[in-house]
Structure 1
């Protein structure tokens, strides 16, 4: 390993675009965010060191045995989050980046590309959820927030956001445009004049600092590894990647599998399966590659932990051999969770799909299992266990590998007889993950709020007769829009109980699951009036009232609190019976 002559950013990025530098498959995916990219560019413009880099000179005879990837230029969180696989021509070698790919990818995006991440609260598949932004430098103003510790105002903006308003100077300079300046003197002055900020000395300095950092200075210091022993290179790689954004074991496992699988490309297979799980067939989930890999280890029958000692050739052969079964089981498990009414917003623990997929694999379930009448009872047993495990706090948190291992053992022992609820729950209880609920926990559930993480799961347990494969919404029985202080007082509600009304409207006893179309029709109607108009016969009305526990539903808003307390007590009894509390167990035994 030898130290090489420093290079400029322009020079190194040029080599990347000439495909002289590639990434080995053992590299993780790009994980930096916009804040990290901005800080890196700010540091370079200030002349600060940005750390050394480690490259690997790969000879032709070595290159043909490994997989390499190109660098990302236009990152899109949904549509283009991964680098493309590179082709190394036969008989040629390459230079692989062992340490520094996050920084080099960030610089490539900053100067040549764009960054598109999901807007907060936007739906994954909605139009405009991923605005495309490029890095811009403010030539006129200092950073608005001094606490960030930045000298330059660098921001990822949409091109329309960076465009000047009528009569204002064109202050936002796209960082990548610095590569098109002919020099650092007259060309900068001409650029500033075109932007109507030619008399601003600070603007000249900012643009000069950017030019100097990218095209003149040589901050890229790197070491070159020439050893062709892959095991030694892997050891170096693991050691140098212990800082920064940590290299997860799932990243390493996926990278190792990419090199060790003989017939399939592990990285492409996992990427494709994650995409299918999350978005195909109308699904909206957010399963990660970690969950997919954990499921693969579970079904392959190897240690489920993400530890280096687990990344053996023998284990990877088992995972590759089991991969077709893993794919089928996971896709059916996702479809089953969708039938249970879950999506990315109310599935509070993605890890629940691991034992669910394993069970479907063990019983050899095919697509027919999802809607077969002969399997209906088994699906209900699975749904009950899944839902209660999501309601109970802490089940899928700490000690996950131990929990998954014990569940796997219980499923292997009894899966042929249908989903073994008792055996699985006994195994979970043995490692401190019981699915029983005490009185305090039941009271906590009764105080869950509208759109809370566990609210959907609790409502689905309370009212199991609903076909949740259809679109259901959490709905206020008494509409929230009527529970403002002004509207309540205008409706004759005494002032001394107005706060009680407002404090109760979003709690579980005033919530139900209602079909999407019915929820739209209901809007802010009082429940009694809506039921009269929505259901044509007494029989239909009685069924709806019974199914949703709406006995003694008042017609008037003034009786809301009495209804709320009565329904709360009925819900408590239902939960005690449905969740397997100690009180329910004692009553059953009596």
Structure 2
């Protein structure tokens, strides 16, 4: 390993775009965020050291045995989060980046590319959820966020956001455009003149600092590894990646599997499967590659822990051999969870898919299992177990590997005659993961709020007869829009009752699951009015009232507190029957 002559940022990025530098498959995915990229550029503009890089001189005879990837330029969290596979021509070698991939990719995005991440609260499949942004430097103003600790105001903006409004200074300079400047003197002055800010000494200094950092200074210090022994290179890689954004064991597993699989490309297969599970067939989930890999280890019947000692060639061969079955089981499990009414917003523990997929694999369930009448009772038993495990606190948190291993052991010997609920729950209880609920836990559930993490699951426990494969909304029985102080007073609610109304409107006793279309039609109608319109026949009206614990309750706004307390007691009785008994007890049938 030898120290090489330092290079400028421009020189390093030019080498990347000439495909002289590639990433070995043992590298993890790009994980830096926008703030990390801007801080890196800020540090370089201030002349700060940004650490050394470690490169691997891969000879032609070695290069053909491994998989390499190009550097990501235009990052899109949904549509383009991963780098493309590179082709190394036969008889050619390459230079692989062992340490510094995150920094080099960040600089590549900052100068040549774009960054598109999901807007907060936006739906994953929304057309405008991922605005494409490029890195800009504010030539006029100081940073307005002292907490960032930056000297320069660098931001990822859409081109529209960077365009000046009428009468405003053209202050946002696209960082990548510094590569187009002919020099650091007259060219900068012409750029400032065109923007109408030539008289600003600060603007000149900021653009000059950017020019110097990218094109003149040589902060890119790097060492070159020449050893062709892959085991030694892997050891170096693991050691140098112990800092920064931590290399997870799942990343390492996926990287090693890519080199150890004989027929399939592990990284491409896992990437593709994650995308298909999350987005295809109308699904909206956020399963990670960690969950996919954990399921793969479970089904392949190897140690489920993400430990380096488990990443042997023999274990990876088992995973590759079982991959078609793993893929099919996960896709069917995701479809089942969707049919149970879950999505990325209300599935509170993604790890629940692991035993579901393993069970489907063990019983050889095909696509027909998802909707066959013969399997309806088994699907219902599985749904009830999934829901109970999501309602109970702490099931899928700490001790996950031990829990998954215990459940796997039970399923391997008890899956012939359907999902073995009692045996699974017994094994869970043995490791401190009991699915029984006491009175205090039931009372806690009664205080769940609208759109809370566990609210959907509890409502689905309360009213199990709903076909949750259709779109259902959490709905306020008494509409929230009626619950403002002014509207309540106008409706004749006494002033001393207002706080009680406002405190209760978003809590579980005022919530139900309502089909999407019905919820839209209901809008802000009071329950007494809406029920009369929505269910014109007395029989249908009576059925709806009974199924939703509304029969005989006051449904006018003046009697809301009476309604709330009465329905709270009814729900409590249901929850005690559904959740508060030991597995296998007669009351369990109420679920």
The TM tier, using the shorter chain, reads over 0.9
Matched ranges for 1:569-588 at <5 A: 569-581=569-581
Residue of structure 2 in register with 1:197 after alignment: 197
- Structure 2 CA distance for partners of 1:34 and 1:9, relative to 1, 3 Å: same
Match of 2:28 in 1: 28
Post-superposition shift, 1:583?
12
**Equivalent residue, structure 2, for 1:440:** 440
Q: 2:455: which partner in 1?
A: 455
Aligned equivalents of 2:236 and 2:583: distance in 1?
58
> Does residue 1:387 correspond to 2:387, yes or no?
yes
In the alignment, what sits opposite 1:255? 255
Partner residue, 1:514? 514
C-alpha distance after superposition, 1:548-578 (max 9, x if no partner): 1111232421111111111111111110111
Is residue 577–residue 588 contact of structure 2 (8 Å, CA) maintained in 1?
Answer: no
Q: Secondary structure at the match of 1:243?
A: coil
Residue matched to 1:117: 117
- What is the CA deviation profile of residues 420-477 of structure 1, one whole-angstrom value per residue up to 9, with x for unaligned ones? 0000001111111000001100000000000000000000000000000000000001
C-alpha separation between the residues in 2 aligned to 1:123 and 1:363? 35
After superposition, the C-alpha distances for 1:47-85 in whole angstroms (9 at most, x for unaligned) are 000000000000000000000000000000000000000
Q: Deviations over 1:307-353 (max 9, x none)?
A: 00010000000000000000000000000000000000000000000
Aligned counterparts of 2:416 and 2:580: Cα–Cα separation in 1: 24
Whether contact under 8 Å (2:425, 2:583) holds in the other structure is no
Contact 1:362 1:415 in 2 (8 A): yes
Structure 1 gap segments, 5+ residues each: none
Aligned pairs (5 A) from 1:311-322:
311-322=311-322
Q: CA deviation at 1:357?
A: 0.2
Distance of 2:579 and 2:561 partners within structure 1: 26
Cα deviations by residue, 1:168-196 (Å, 9 ceiling, x for unpaired)? 22110000000000000111111111111
Q: Distance in 2 between matches of 1:292 and 1:476?
A: 36
| Aligned match of 1:67 | 67
Distance 1:227 1:178 in 2: 37
Distance 1:588 1:102 in 2: 52
Change in CA separation of 1:174 and 1:12 when aligned onto 2, cut-off 3 Å: same
TM-score (norm 2): 0.98
Determine helix, strand or coil for the equivalent of 1:442.
helix
Query: How much does 1:546 deviate?
Result: 1.2
Partner of 2:87: 87
Output the CA distance in 2 between the equivalents of 1:575 and 1:223: 63
Kindly indicate whether the alpha-carbon contact (under 8 Å) linking 2:54 and 2:98 is maintained by their aligned counterparts in 1: yes
Q: Which stretches of structure 1, 4 residues or longer, exceed 6 Å deviation after superposition? A: 586-589
SS in 1 for 2:397: coil
Name the SS of the counterpart of 2:95 in structure 1.
Answer: strand
Question: Partners of 2:584 and 2:33 in 1: how far apart?
Answer: 50
What is the correspondence of 1:6-25 to structure 2 with a 5 Å cutoff? 6-25=6-25
Shift of 1:167: 2.4
The residue number in structure 2 matching 1:538 is 538
Q: Which residue of 1 aligns with 2:221?
A: 221
Contact 2:24 2:96 in 1 (8 A): yes
Task: Please tell me whether the aligned partners of residues 526 and 557 of structure 1 are also in contact (alpha carbons under 8 angstroms).
Answer: yes
- Report what 1:360 is aligned to: 360
- For the 8 Å contact 1:99–1:237, the answer to whether it is kept is yes
Deviation, 1:587, is: 7.6
In structure 1, how many angstroms separate the alpha carbons of the residues matched to 2:555 and 2:135? Answer: 58
Partners of 1:454 and 1:384 in 2: CA distance: 14
Task: Kindly indicate whether residue 263 of structure 2 is the aligned counterpart of residue 269 of structure 1.
Answer: no
Residue 586 of structure 1, CA deviation: 9.8
Summarize the Cα distance change of 1:353–1:583 in structure 2 as closer, same or farther, 3 Å threshold. Answer: closer
Residue 51 (structure 1) aligns with:
51
How far 1:581 moved relative to its partner?
Answer: 3.2
- Cα distance, 1:236 vs structure 2: 0.2
Partner of 2:476: 476
The alpha-carbon deviation at position 239 of structure 1 amounts to 0.3
- Aligned ranges 1:149-168 → 2 under 5 Å: 149-168=149-168
Quote the residue 1:100 is aligned against.
100
Cα gap change, 1:460/1:588 in structure 2, threshold over 3 Å: closer, same or farther? closer
Match of residue 504 from structure 1: 504
SS of the equivalent of 1:417 reads coil
Asked if the contact 2:38/2:155 (under 8 Å) is kept, the reply is yes
Post-superposition Cα deviations, 1:507-565, rounded to whole Å, max 9, x if no partner, equal 00000000000000001111111111111211111111111111123242111111111
Secondary structure of residue in 2 paired with 1:500: helix
What RMSD in Å do the two structures reach over aligned CA positions?
1.3
